[in-house]
Amino acid sequence: MLKAMIRLQWRAVWHIVAALTVAGLLLPLASVRTGWKGGLTNLPNFLTELQLWGLLYPALAALAGVALAAGIWSSDRRGHHIYALTLPIPRWRYVLLRYLAGLTLALPIVAAVWLGSVIASETLDLPAGLRIFPHALAAKFALALIVLFGFAFAIAASSSRALGIGVRFLALLVAVHLGVVMLYPKTNILWSLVTGLATWPGPFAALGGRWMLIDV
């Protein structure tokens, strides 16, 4: 059943997977090649540029997570979930199969990031004192992808009613935030919320922290 689901989803999102895999492979290579222009004489700038390139890893994970989740559920949403409801399996099992198939399709992207990182770091002649993290970087990328895919998957799988409630809640939050900012400029509800979500133990803490392929 899982194999059939993977095949089904592959047909729906193969172009997204292929594009993101290529991006995952090229990202570490491009980050190292563009930053290494000055070689050893430009080490501080190299690390600074690498740090800036590092911002693209969580961005790629976010893009991959959202694109995969949306692609996986697009046919179901178009068909108002009639296909899923006619299958002789419980709903939870169907959702679980979709989830596992989605994670399987994310594997090539993670593997590409790992391979790109290994190739990029092995081609440099770094001075003593600098360390490389190709495996840890790929693992961090995988974790960020799991979290973001899970989040986007939950949204994409939700019923129209649940989605409506979510959107209304979000609109209310933004309205309250704007009102509060106008009256009390020092209070920023939205920023506090984003900070809470993106730092330990928030769900998106995996996106933060250091994304350095090479560091001191």
User: Considering the rule CB under 8 A, would residue 206 count as an interface residue with another protein?
Assistant: yes
User: Considering the rule CB under 8 A, would residue 32 count as an interface residue with another protein?
Assistant: no
From the list 85, 170, 171, 193, which residue makes contact with another protein (rule: CB under 8 A)?
Answer: 85
Please give the full DSSP string across 72-132, using - where no structure is assigned: HHHHHHHTTTHHHHHSSS-HHHHHHHHHHHHHHHHHHHHHHHHHHHHHHHHT--PPTT-EE
User: Considering the rule CB under 8 A, would residue 41 count as an interface residue with another protein?
Assistant: yes
Task: Write each residue from 91 to 130 as x if it is in contact with another protein (CB under 8 A), else as -, in one continuous string.
Answer: xx--xx--x---------------------------xxxx
Q: What is the DSSP letter of 51?
A: H
- What angle do helix axes 56-78 and 91-122 make, rounded to 10 degrees? 150
Q: Which residues fall within 8 angstroms of residue 196, CB to CB, at 6 or more apart?
A: 202
d(CA 8, CA 2): 10
User: Considering the rule CB under 8 A, would residue 201 count as an interface residue with another protein?
Assistant: yes
CB of 17 to another protein, least distance (A): 19
- Tokens 């809640």, residue located: 169
Tell me which residues touch another protein (CB under 8 A).
40-44, 47, 80-81, 84-85, 91-92, 95-96, 99, 127-131, 133, 136-137, 139-140, 143-144, 146-147, 150-151, 153-154, 157-159, 162, 181-186, 200-201, 203, 205-206, 209-212, 215-216
